């Protein structure tokens, strides 16, 4: 079975000036990955004839499919056609139907068609035309040496329908892309990226198909299993097998698949057990509440939160004893415990959770920036209070604190 290598070239100085991110490359890559085409390179290059030509030349030496976005518009900066012509010597011809379409478009919007718009109707004589369902400039598919060049506009809302409705079906039909890639993400919490990788190293070392790749984001890690196969059934079997092997090693830290978040998972566990929750927040300042309220349907489970940010409000609004604040301080086990209890009591919730600590930039009550206390209260007989140290800046500390709270709740609820 033949495999194909692809490369994506973004043309446009706006990419190199950092005015926009190259999200076209991401979109095309994501689509190609699903068809089993290997993407080996992305390039971005400015509106410069020589450099665009050089990029095309290099791509033709190493890639079966070269996806080019941008540089097809009407302005003088748009050089994709000229650069490809300079490289290949191919002929450009004006396409009547496209000229008509463009002038209709201007009529409809009551504007005069500027002369430079004719440029958009210039098509390579041996090209397959890709209709533009959204804008005026069409795309083109042209063969050069051993490579197929696919030219599309740089505007994402024009490029995406071309890719989905024309280019992918075209490639599937003409190149028999049978080699499908499927992936599944396993999400873990309560284990570090390096520990996770050490624990599953034996599997990563022997991997071939499927591959297993670790991914990390704030306080959470995931493993992505990616299988190549001739059909979905075989791909699923390969993934299933790898998943079972992984779970034998690190199963206790696994909490969900793909789009699942720890926020969803905790909310669903609470609902499943008919439990309600309320929070008392100091340094997190509403972020924990937001983590649950952002999920549709949180209303029956999440009761509310008291953000007692300013010190005195911890007693006046939340009801922590002034004695505790005086003797132990607000960044303490004792204060965290009382906050969690008060959240549960005030909101009449089964569980109260609290967050207090030092988010910085300065120390507070003699405690270092990054010192955090979290407490969970579910009646006097079931209480947990723990302290943590999170390095980093203010927002990092606050986000890690919320994530840690969700992690503690998760283990609390599955116990």
Please write down the HEC assignment for all residues of 321-380.
CHHHHHHHCCCCHHHHHHHHHHHHHHCCCCEEEEEEECCCCCCECCECCCEEEEEEECCC
> Pick from 29, 35, 85, 261: which binds a copy of itself (CB under 8 A)?
29
Looking at beta carbons only, is 41 or 412 nearer to a copy of itself? 41
Nearest to 122 by CA among 84, 157, 154, 148: 84
Say whether residue 257 binds a copy of itself (CB under 8 A). no
DSSP 138: P
> Pick from 11, 87, 142, 303: which binds a copy of itself (CB under 8 A)?
303
> Pick from 11, 44, 262, 358: which binds a copy of itself (CB under 8 A)?
44
Looking at beta carbons only, is 22 or 375 nearer to a copy of itself? 22
Say whether residue 322 binds a copy of itself (CB under 8 A). no
Looking at beta carbons only, is 33 or 383 nearer to a copy of itself? 33
Cα distance between the two ends of the chain: 49
Looking at beta carbons only, is 89 or 361 nearer to a copy of itself? 361
Say whether residue 46 binds a copy of itself (CB under 8 A). yes
Binding residues among 80-139 for a copy of itself as defined by CB under 8 A: 105, 108-109, 111-117, 134
Can you tell me which residue has the tokens 């409705």? 165
Say whether residue 1 binds a copy of itself (CB under 8 A). no
> Pick from 95, 396, 411, 412: which binds a copy of itself (CB under 8 A)?
396
Binding residues among 218-247 for a copy of itself as defined by CB under 8 A: none
Structure tokens at 160: 């995406």
> Pick from 149, 302, 337, 355: which binds a copy of itself (CB under 8 A)?
302
Q: Write the DSSP string, 268-290.
A: HHHHHTT--EEEEESTTTTHHHH
> Pick from 289, 336, 353, 406: which binds a copy of itself (CB under 8 A)?
289
Burial 50-79 (b: 16+ CB within 10 A, else e): ebbbebbeebbeebbbbbbbbbbbbeeebb
Looking at beta carbons only, is 142 or 306 nearer to a copy of itself? 306
Say whether residue 377 binds a copy of itself (CB under 8 A). no
Say whether residue 154 binds a copy of itself (CB under 8 A). no
DSSP 164: I
Distances (CA, A) of 195 to 198, 211, 220, 256: 5, 19, 12, 19
Looking at beta carbons only, is 106 or 170 nearer to a copy of itself? 106
Site string for a copy of itself, 329-348 (x = CB under 8 A): -----------------xxx
HSE-CB of 190 using CA atoms within 13 angstroms: 15
Looking at beta carbons only, is 90 or 394 nearer to a copy of itself? 394
Q: H-type helices in 218-299, by residue range?
A: 232-250, 262-272, 287-293
Q: Cis ω on the peptide bond leading into residue 31 (within 30° of 0)?
A: no
Binding residues among 177-196 for a copy of itself as defined by CB under 8 A: 192-195
CB of 114 to a copy of itself, least distance (A): 4
> Pick from 246, 270, 292, 358: which binds a copy of itself (CB under 8 A)?
292
Looking at beta carbons only, is 38 or 143 nearer to a copy of itself? 38
Rg (CA), the chain: 29
Cβ–Cβ under 8 Å, residues 196 and 224 = no
Part of the chain binding a copy of itself (CB under 8 A), chosen from 30-38, 229-237, 252-260, 324-332: 30-38
């Amino acid at each position: 079975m033949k495999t194909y290598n692809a490369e994506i070239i973004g043309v446009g100085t706006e990419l190199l000036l950092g005015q926009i991110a190259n999200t076209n490359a991401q979109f095309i890559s994501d689509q190609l990955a699903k068809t089993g085409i290997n993407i080996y390179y992305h390039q971005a290059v400015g509106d410069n004839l020589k450099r665009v030509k050089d990029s095309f030349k290099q791509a033709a030496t190493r890639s079966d499919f070269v996806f080019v976005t941008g540089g097809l518009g009407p302005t003088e900066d748009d050089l994709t056609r000229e650069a490809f012509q300079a490289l290949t010597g191919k002929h450009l011809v004006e396409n009547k139907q496209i000229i008509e379409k463009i002038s209709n478009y201007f009529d409809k919007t009551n504007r005069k068609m500027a002369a430079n718009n004719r440029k958009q109707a210039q098509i390579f004589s041996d090209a397959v035309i890709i209709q533009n369902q959204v804008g005026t400039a069409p795309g083109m598919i042209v063969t050069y040496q051993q490579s197929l060049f696919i030219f599309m506009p740089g505007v994402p809302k024009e490029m995406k329908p071309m890719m989905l409705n024309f280019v992918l079906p075209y490639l599937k039909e003409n190149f028999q892309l049978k080699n499908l890639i499927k992936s599944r993400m396993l999400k873990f919490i309560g284990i570090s990226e390096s520990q996770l990788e050490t624990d599953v190293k034996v599997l990563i070392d022997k991997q071939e198909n499927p591959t297993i790749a670790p991914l990390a984001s704030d306080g959470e890690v995931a493993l992505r299993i990616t299988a190549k196969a001739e059909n979905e059934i075989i791909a699923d079997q390969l993934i299933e097998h790898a998943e079972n092997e992984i779970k034998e090693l690190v199963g206790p830290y696994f909490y969900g698949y793909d789009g699942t978040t720890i926020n969803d998972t905790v909310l669903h566990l609470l609902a499943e057990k008919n439990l309600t929750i309320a929070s008392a927040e100091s340094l997190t300042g509403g972020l924990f509440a937001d983590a649950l309220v952002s999920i549709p349907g949180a209303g029956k489970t999440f009761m509310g939160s008291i953000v007692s940010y300013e010190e005195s409000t911890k007693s006046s609004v939340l009801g922590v004893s002034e004695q505790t604040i005086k003797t132990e301080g607000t960044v303490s086990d004792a204060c965290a415990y009382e906050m969690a209890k008060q959240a549960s009591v005030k909101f009449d919730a089964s569980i109260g959770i609290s967050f207090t600590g030092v988010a910085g930039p300065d120390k507070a009550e003699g405690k270092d920036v990054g010192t955090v206390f979290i407490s969970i209260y579910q009646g006097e007989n079931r209480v947990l209070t723990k302290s943590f140290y999170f390095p980093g800046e203010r927002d990092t500390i606050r986000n890690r604190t919320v994530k840690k709270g969700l992690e503690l709740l998760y283990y609390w609820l599955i116990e």
